[in-house]
Chains A and B, each alone.
Chain A
Amino acid sequence: MPKRKLDPLPSAAFQILLSLAGEDLHGYGIMRQIEEQTGGRMRLGPGTLYSSVQTLLEEGLIEEIDSPAEAVDARRRRHYRLTAGGRKLARSEAGRLADLLRVARARKIYKGDYV
C-alpha cells in the first residue's frame, strides 16, 4: 500500500520529510522551513501541506507529537516528527536524485558542483 501513494515520492512530501530532518515542527514551521530550504521557490499552501501531511502520517513516515513544553502560545499546535521509516525514505530519495544528477553530468547537460 505505501508503494502506491508515495511512489514516486511527490516533491511536496519529500520537502516535508527534509524539513523535519533537523527538528520537530508544526504546520507553519514546516512551511517556513521549506520556503527557506528551497530559496523561496516553494511555499506550500494549507491544502497541499495538510494533504501531504495526512498521507505521510498514514504511511507512518512522520508522527504527531505533543506540543513541546516551551509552547507559550495559548493554542496547542500539533507538531510532527520524522520516523525512522521516513528518514530512510528521504535518504533513498536523495540517493535517487544524486544518481539522476550523475547521469545529467555524464550527458553534459549540467555542470554544477559535485555533490
Chain B
Amino acid sequence: MSEKIYALLFRLFPSRFRAAWGEESLDLYRQRAQHERGFRPRVRLWRDLLADLAVALPGAYLREEPALSPARETGPGAVPSFTMLDEKPIRSSAYFYGTLLTLALLAAVSILAKHTGHFPVLRASQAAEANGVTVDPWATGRGAGGGDGDTAVIGNGPGAPPAERASSGKPPASYVSVAQSKPLALFDDAERRRVIAGIAETVRKEYPDHATAERVSRSLQANERGGGYDTVDDPAAFATLLTRQLRSASGDTHFEVVFSAMPLHQSAAPTAEQDAQYRAIALAANCGFVDVKILPNRIGYLKLDTFSDPQICGGEAIAAMKKLSAAQGLIIDLRDNSGGSPEMVLFLAGWLFDKPAFFWNPRADSAANMWTHSPMAGSGLAHKPVWVLTSGRTWSAAEHFSYDLKELHRATLVGETTGGATDVGVFHNIDEHFGIGMRESRVANPYPDPDWAGRGVQPDVRVPADDALAAAQARALQQLARR
C-alpha cells in the first residue's frame, strides 16, 4: 500500500528523471521500508521522503531547463526555434485530461459568477459606473413624476466622481437594476425622435421654471426637425450633445441626459439589510470624522471625508463639534470629502451660526429644508473664524457646504476649485435606455454666484491642495494674533 503511495508521489518528478531513476528510487524505498519496521522508524521514513520531495522537486525541474540551452546556442540567431523537452510525444490521454480540466474550470467559474453574491449596492454602482452616473442616496426623491413609479433618484456629474463614493455610500434609495438584461434596440431616427419628445415632455411637466422649460423644449424639437441629430449614430454621444444643448439653452447646469447600455429599471426602497450595512460601514469609518483635534495656538482641526446620515452619526458629530468648540478658530478639511448627506451639511453648518442661516441646495424640494438649525446647544463656534480646505476631489455635499459658507461670508476657502458635481435632484426615465436628471428645487438661488454644478466652487485663497493646511494655519495665526 505505502509503496503505491510513494510510487504515485514519485510521479511528481519530471518524466526524464523518472525514466532514468524511477526503478532505482522505488528500490531504495523498498529497501528502507524493509529495514525500518515499527511505528517510529516508519514515521521517520515518511518524514524523510516528504522532506526529500520538497527539496528535490524544484531542483529536478530546474535541471530540465539546461536541456534547452544547446539548441538555443546553436540555433541561427534571428530564426525562432522550437525544442521538445521530451523525446516522447505528449500522451493523447494528457490532451484528454487537459481538455476535461479546462472545461470543468470554465463551468465552475460561470456557475459561481451566476449564482453567488447578491450585492445590490455593488451592482448599482457598477451599472452607474458604466453610465458615468453616481447613484445618490441622499437626493430627496420627491417623486415629481406624480408617484407613477417612473422616477429614480440620482445625482450625477460631468467628471468621474471619487471612487470611494460607491463604497462609502448609503444603500441607494432606489437604484438602477441590471438584473434583466435585454439587448439594446436599434438606435435610429425613430428612437431619436422618441427620446427628444420624451425629454421635451418631461421638462415641460417637471422643470420648476415654466418659461425656460418651454424655450428649451422648443429649441430641442426645432433642432430635431431641422435634422440636427441625423448624423449622431452613437447613443452616448447623443446623450452628451443633448446635455450640452439643454444647459446652454437654459443656463442651468443641473441638466444631465444619461444613456445606459443596460436597461434602466427602478427597484424598491432600500431593505433593512442594506440600511444595516450602511450603518456598519459608516460607524466603522467613524462616520467620516477622520481627525478631530486642537492644533497648537488653539486652532481646531476637523478632517471630514464624508457627510454621513445624521440619524446614524449624530452622536459622533455632536462629540466632534463639542470638542472643537474649545478652539479659537476652526479649520475644516474637506480635501478628501466625496460628499454625502445634505442633512449632515445643515447639521454641521448649524454649529457655526447663532441664528438659522439659509443654505441653498439644488437638491432640496422646498426652502424650509434649506435652513440650518442654529443655534446648536453647546456650540462655542458661532463667532469664531472658519477656514475650509478644498481640492479637486471635494465633491457634491462637500461643495454644498463650501459654497454656502462662502456665499454667507462665514468661511474662507483655502485650496483648489472643487470638483463640480452636477447634483440633480430627480431623475426621470425617458425609456429603457435614456433618462434625464434636472434641478428639483423650485427655490431660486438667492446668491450672486452660480452654484457648483459643472463648475465647482472657487477658493478665496488659491493654493495647491497639498499646501492648503499650512496656508490656512498661517492665516489663522495672523488673524488670531490681531484679536
Q: Is A111 an interface residue (CB 8 A)?
A: no
Closest to A78 in B: B24
A51 CA to B24 CA, complexed, in Å: 12
Q: Which residue of the partner chain A has the closest CB to B62?
A: A51
B51 lies within 8 A of A45 (CB): yes
Q: By the criterion CB–CB under 8 Å, are B28 and A28 in contact? A: yes
Question: In the complex, are the beta carbons of B60 and A47 less than 8 A apart?
Answer: yes
Given that A51-B56, A51-B59, A51-B60 are contacting pairs, would A46 and B21 also be in contact in the complex, using a CB cutoff of 8 Å?
A: yes
From A53, which residue of chain B is reached at the shortest CB distance? B21
**Contact A48–B55 (Cβ < 8 Å):** yes
Residues 25-44 of A at the B interface (beta carbon under 8 Å): 27-28, 31, 43-44
Q: Write the chain A residue with the least CB distance to B13.
A: A47
* B32 / chain A contacts, CB cutoff of 8 Å: 28, 31
Query: Among residues 39 to 67 in chain B, which have CB atoms less than 8 Å away from a CB atom of chain A?
Result: 48-49, 51-53, 55-57, 59-60, 63
Residue of B nearest to A46 (CB): B25
Sort chain A's interface into a size bin.
10 to 19
Give every chain B residue within 8 A of A28 (Cβ-Cβ). Answer: 27-28, 31-32
A39 to B26 CA separation, bound complex (whole angstroms) = 25
A43 contact from B13, B48, B53, Cβ within 8 A: B48
**Closest chain B CB from A72 CB (angstroms):** 15
Choose among B10, B27, B49, B63 the residue that contacts A51 (Cβ–Cβ < 8 A): B63
Minimum CB–CB distance for A4 against chain B, Å: 9
Distance in angstroms between the alpha carbons of A53 and B28 in the assembled complex: 14
Chain B residues with CB under 8 Å of A47's CB are 13, 25, 52-53, 55-57, 60
Distance between A41 CB and nearest chain B CB, rounded to angstroms: 12
CA distance A49 to B57 in the complex (A): 12
Contacts of A75 in B (CB 8 A): 27
B interface majority secondary structure: helix
Are B52 and A44 neighbours in the complex by a CB distance under 8 Å? yes
Check B377 for interface membership: any CB of A closer than 8 A.
no
In the complex, A87 has a CB within 8 A of chain B: no
Is B29's beta carbon under 8 Å from chain A?
Answer: yes
Nearest-neighbour CB distance to chain A for B357, whole angstroms, equals 78
| B-facing residues in A64-92 (Cβ within 8 Å) | 75, 77-78
A46 CA to B27 CA, complexed, in Å: 9
Tell yes or no: B94 within 8 A of A by CB. Answer: no
A54 to B60, CA, bound (A): 11
| A-B interface contact total, Cβ < 8 Å | 58
Hey, which chain B residues are within 8 Å of A46, CB to CB?
10, 21, 24-26, 28-29, 49, 52
Flag whether A50 is at the interface (Cβ < 8 A): yes
Residues of A within 8 A of B51 (CB): 45
Interface membership of B368, Cβ < 8 A: no
* A44-B32 Cα distance, complex, nearest whole Å: 11
Q: What chain A residues lie within 8 Å of B25 (beta carbons)?
A: 46-47, 50
The answer to whether residues A27 and B24 also contact, given A45-B56, A46-B29, A48-B56 and a CB cut-off of 8 A, is yes
A31 to B48, CA, bound (A): 12
Query: Which of B10, B20, B52, B55 sits near A54, CB closer than 8 Å?
Result: B20
In the docked arrangement, what's the CA distance between A44 and B13, Å? Answer: 16
| A75 CA to B31 CA, complexed, in Å | 12
CA distance A75 to B23 in the complex (A): 11
Are B28 and A27 interface neighbours, CB within 8 A? Answer: yes
- Cα(A89)–Cα(B460), bound, Å: 81
Closest chain B residue to A1, Cβ basis? B66
Residues from 14 to 39 in B contacting A, C-beta threshold 8 Å = 17, 20-21, 24-29, 31-32
The smallest beta-carbon distance between A45 and chain B, in angstroms, is 2
List, in ascending order, chain B residues with CB within 8 A of A31's CB: 28, 32
Residue of B nearest to A47 (CB): B56
Residues from chain B with Cβ under 8 Å of A50 in the complex: 17, 20-21, 24-25
Set of chain A residues within 8 Å of B28, measured between Cβ atoms? 27-28, 31, 46, 49
User: A interface vs B, CB < 8 Å?
Assistant: 27-28, 31, 43-51, 53-54, 75, 77-78
Given contact pairs A46-B24, A46-B28, A46-B49, a sample of 17 additional A-B residue pairs in the complex whose CB atoms are under 8 Å apart? A28-B27, A28-B32, A31-B28, A43-B48, A44-B52, A45-B55, A46-B29, A46-B52, A47-B56, A48-B59, A49-B28, A50-B17, A50-B21, A50-B24, A50-B25, A51-B17, A53-B21
Interface positions of B (Cβ within 8 A of A): 10, 13, 17, 20-21, 24-29, 31-32, 48-49, 51-53, 55-57, 59-60, 63
- 30 A-B pairs, CB-CB below 8 angstroms? A28-B28, A28-B32, A31-B32, A44-B52, A45-B48, A45-B49, A45-B52, A45-B53, A46-B24, A46-B26, A46-B29, A47-B13, A47-B53, A47-B55, A47-B56, A47-B57, A47-B60, A48-B56, A48-B59, A50-B20, A50-B25, A51-B56, A51-B59, A51-B60, A53-B21, A54-B17, A54-B21, A54-B63, A75-B27, A78-B24
